[in-house]
C-alpha cells in the first residue's frame, strides 16, 4: 500500500478492503477522512505534549512574562509566519476533502434512466418494504437475457426469497444496473443499504430515485433498513436483498 497515493487518488487501498469496504467512491473518501484525521490528531497531540513538557513551570522558576496576573492584560506576542501557516494548511486540507467528496456524490446522484437495465418500484409503509415487479428498459440497445423480450422474466436461479423472514425481499441479478423509484404511502422513511453505501429519503407523495450497479458488488445477501424514525416498529423495518449470479 502506498500511503501518498491513497491520500491523492480515490481507489480503495487493500487495507480498506480487508475491513470490508468493497464498494468504491465512498469507501475511498472514508479512508482519506480517517487517515487525515489520524495525521492531524497525532500532530496536535505531539505538539501539546511537547509544550506541556518543554514549558512546564517548576517550583522556584521565575514567572513567565505571559503569566496571568489580576488586572494586567496579557502580553501580546506571536509569530506571524506560524499563524499564517496553521491558517492556510487546514484551509487547504478542508478544501481538498470537500473536493474529493463531490465525486462520489455526483456518481450516486447520476440516475440516467438510459443506462438502467431494470427499474423497480419500491413502496414504503409502516413498517414494510414492498417491491414491485421489475420493469425492463425498452430503450436499452443490448438488453440482458432476462429482458430480451421487453418484459422482465424471472431467472430460474432466483429462489432466495422463498426462505426470507424479513419484512420485504428482493432478488436481483448480478451484472445489472438497477434503478429504484421510491415512494411512501404514509410517513417519511429512508431506504438504506448500510453495506453498499446507499441511503435515500422516501417521501410521501413524492418519487425519489437511487440506483445500484450490481457488478460492483459481490453476490450474496444484503439488508435494507429504514434509516428514518417512522414509528413503533421502525427498528424492525427491514428487507432482504439477494444479488444472484445468472448462469
Give the side-chain half-sphere CA count within 13 A for 235.
1
Strands 238-244 and 169-173: parallel
pTM of the model: 0.64
**pLDDT of 76 over the 70 cut:** no
pLDDT at position 17 is 46
- Same domain for 119 and 240? yes
pLDDT at position 103 is 65
pLDDT at position 15 is 42
Give the side-chain half-sphere CA count within 13 A for 45.
6
- Same domain for 235 and 125? yes
- Same domain for 159 and 239? yes
Strands 128-131 and 169-173: unpaired
> Cβ atoms within 10 A of the Cβ of 54, count?
7
- Same domain for 103 and 117? no
Domain that holds residue 230: 113-244
- Same domain for 118 and 233? yes
Cβ burial of 210 (10 Å; 0-12, 13-18, 19+) is buried
Query: What total number of domains does the chain contain?
Result: 2
- Same domain for 117 and 84? no
135-189 pLDDT per residue, tens: 888 877 778 887 887 888 888 878 888 888 777 888 888 888 888 999 999 999 9
Helices (H), the chain: 3-6, 14-18, 26-54, 80-109
- Same domain for 94 and 152? no
- Quickly state the pLDDT bin for 20 (edges 50, 70, 90): very low
pLDDT at position 152 is 84
Amino acid at each position: 500500500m502506498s500511503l501518498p497515493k491513497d491520500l491523492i487518488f480515490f481507489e480503495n487501498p487493500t487495507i480498506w478492503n480487508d475491513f470490508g469496504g468493497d464498494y468504491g467512491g465512498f469507501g475511498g473518501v472514508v479512508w482519506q477522512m480517517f487517515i487525515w484525521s489520524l495525521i492531524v490528531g497525532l500532530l496536535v497531540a505531539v505538539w501539546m505534549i511537547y509544550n506541556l513538557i518543554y514549558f512546564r513551570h517548576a517550583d522556584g522558576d521565575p514567572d513567565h512574562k505571559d503569566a496571568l496576573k489580576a488586572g494586567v492584560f496579557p502580553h501580546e506576542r506571536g509569530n506571524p509566519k506560524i499563524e499564517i501557516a496553521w491558517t492556510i494548511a487546514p484551509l487547504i486540507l478542508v478544501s481538498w476533502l470537500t473536493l474529493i467528496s463531490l465525486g462520489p456524490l455526483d456518481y450516486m446522484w447520476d440516475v440516467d434512466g438510459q443506462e438502467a437495465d431494470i427499474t423497480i418500484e419500491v413502496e414504503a409503509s409502516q413498517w414494510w418494504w414492498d417491491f414491485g415487479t421489475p420493469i425492463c428498459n425498452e430503450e436499452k440497445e443490448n438488453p440482458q437475457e432476462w429482458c430480451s423480450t421487453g418484459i422482465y422474466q424471472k431467472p430460474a436461479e432466483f429462489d432466495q426469497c422463498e426462505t426470507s423472514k424479513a419484512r420485504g425481499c428482493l432478488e436481483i441479478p448480478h451484472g445489472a444496473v438497477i434503478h429504484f423509484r421510491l415512494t411512501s404511502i404514509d410517513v417519511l422513511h429512508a431506504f438504506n443499504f448500510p453495506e453498499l453505501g446507499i441511503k435515500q429519503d422516501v417521501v410521501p407523495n413524492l418519487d425519489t430515485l437511487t440506483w445500484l450497479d450490481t457488478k460492483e458488488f459481490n453476490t450474496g445477501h444484503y439488508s435494507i433498513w429504514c434509516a428514518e424514525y417512522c414509528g413503533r416498529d421502525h427498528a424492525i423495518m427491514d428487507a432482504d436483498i439477494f444479488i444472484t449470479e445468472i448462469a
